[in-house]
């Protein structure tokens, strides 16, 4: 079997909560034991409510946050313990696109300077930089004449194109896109999604695409992982997941997507209560207090992810 491009094993990220001066009181279990593998060239969508740990997973994989536990393997190589210098070299292959490009593009730099930064950091020679920058600005649908402008002179969609160009500068293999279209108007969202798909073909990219929006995830993903309170509850081929969600949480999420076809009758399942706090998660299955199908066992025993109908599900119903 081919080695997956990326493998994540038992990944945990706990944030320590500080109380008073030195006393630490407990932790926020933002990511609480996640296993994933991503194949070369595919798009793995990660979906779940706000606060369930999606961004933390993305950042911990790139080691922008230090994992508390677990392993990250890139092309079979364990990158979890690489030192800062080795990790910088590795970042050539692993890049991130963020939700809000305004917050991550330096307003004092021109687009040309922004795109040059990763090249300089990776010691790409000056004479190679110009053609690379000019090629990349065009592949994201902007033009060379935009290079000497500043970020504030662009629209939100154009700024996200610049954010994508920056991520592409070193021709990475894997891009983790964290809510890349969530800040954009719906009409612009599909343009950016189409751009990401075109770039995937052109450069053979692999994506982890993070979003709270199932519609967006459905559009772009090959497989989808559904997260709830720091864990994956269902991981499946996209078409299977949308045809027949198995986990009660996935069923709830899917029931809330508006459908265009008025004949397609479906019942919207309403969830009881709010997302519990990851600093004090419920015992047993973390979803049990809100689950419409909760049984006694769910309150005490954590359901493992297991293979059911060709996908992975963490639920005592199966």
Copy the structure tokens of residue 252.
Answer: 């709830």
Q: By CB under 5 A, how many residues form the interface with Mg ion?
A: 1
**Which residues is 96 bridged to in the sheet?**
176
Query: Which of ligand ADP, Mg ion, none sits in contact with 28, Cβ below 5 to 8 A by type?
Result: ligand ADP
Residue from 25, 50, 190, 239 touching ligand ADP (CB under 6 A): that is 50
> Which CB sits closer to ligand ADP, 50 or 202?
50
Site residues (CB under 6 A) for ligand ADP, limited to 99-158: none
Copy the structure tokens of residue 234.
Answer: 């269902």
> Which CB sits closer to ligand ADP, 14 or 154?
14
> Which CB sits closer to Mg ion, 49 or 69?
49
Copy the structure tokens of residue 117.
Answer: 């930064």
List the x/- string, 50-69, binding to Mg ion by CB under 5 A: -----x--------------
What distance in Å separates the CA atoms of residue 278 and residue 263, rounded to the nearest whole number? 39
Q: What residues have CB less than 8 Å from 299, skipping those under 6 apart?
A: 282, 283, 284, 285, 288
The reply on whether position 278 binds ligand ADP by CB under 6 A is: yes
> Which CB sits closer to Mg ion, 55 or 221?
55
Residue span binding ligand ADP (CB under 6 A) among the ranges 50-58, 70-78, 85-93, 199-207: 50-58
Nearest distance, CB of residue 96 and ligand ADP, angstroms = 13
Distance from chain centroid for Cα 59? 9
Helix, strand, or coil here: 197? Answer: helix
Site residues (CB under 6 A) for ligand ADP, limited to 14-43: 15, 28, 30
Closest by CA to 160, choosing from 202, 130, 116, 190, is: 190
| Dihedral (Cα; 94, 98, 103, 109), 10-degree rounding | 40
Nearest distance, CB of residue 132 and ligand ADP, angstroms = 32
**Which residues is 235 bridged to in the sheet?**
225, 312
Copy the structure tokens of residue 303.
Answer: 């359901």
| Position closest to Mg ion via CB | 55
Binding site for ligand ADP (CB under 6 A): 15, 28, 30, 48, 50-56, 278
């Amino acid at each position: 079997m081919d080695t997956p491009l990326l493998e994540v094993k038992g990944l945990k990220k706990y944030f320590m909560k500080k109380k008073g001066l030195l006393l630490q009181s407990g932790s926020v279990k933002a990511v609480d034991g996640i296993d994933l593998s991503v194949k070369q060239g595919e798009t793995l969508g990660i979906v779940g409510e706000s606060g369930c740990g999606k961004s933390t997973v993305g950042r911990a994989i790139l080691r922008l946050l230090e994992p508390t536990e677990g392993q990250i393997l890139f092309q079979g190589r364990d990158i979890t313990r690489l030192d800062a210098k080795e990790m910088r070299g590795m970042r050539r292959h692993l890049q991130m696109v963020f939700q809000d490009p305004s917050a991550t593009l330096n307003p004092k730099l021109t687009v040309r300077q922004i795109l040059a930064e990763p090249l300089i950091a990776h010691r790409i020679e000056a004479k190679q930089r110009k053609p690379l920058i000019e090629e990349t600005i065009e592949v994201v649908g902007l033009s060379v004449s935009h290079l000497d402008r500043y970020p504030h002179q662009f629209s939100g969609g154009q700024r996200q194109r610049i954010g994508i160009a920056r991520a592409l500068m070193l021709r990475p293999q894997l891009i983790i896109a964290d809510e890349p279209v969530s800040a954009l108007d719906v009409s612009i969202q599909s343009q950016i999604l189409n751009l990401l798909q075109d770039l995937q073909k052109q450069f053979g990219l692999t994506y982890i695409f993070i979003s709270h929006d199932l519609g967006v995830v459905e559009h772009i993903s090959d497989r989808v992982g559904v997260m709830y309170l720091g864990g994956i509850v269902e991981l499946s081929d996209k078409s299977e997941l949308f045809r027949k969600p198995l986990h009660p949480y996935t069923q709830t999420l899917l029931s809330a997507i508006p459908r265009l076809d008025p004949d397609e009758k479906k019942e919207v399942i309403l969830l009881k209560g709010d997302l519990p706090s990851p600093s004090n998660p419920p015992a047993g299955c973390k979803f049990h207090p809100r689950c419409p199908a909760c049984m006694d066992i769910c309150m005490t025993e954590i359901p493992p992810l297991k293979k059911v109908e060709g996908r992975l599900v963490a639920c005592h119903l199966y």
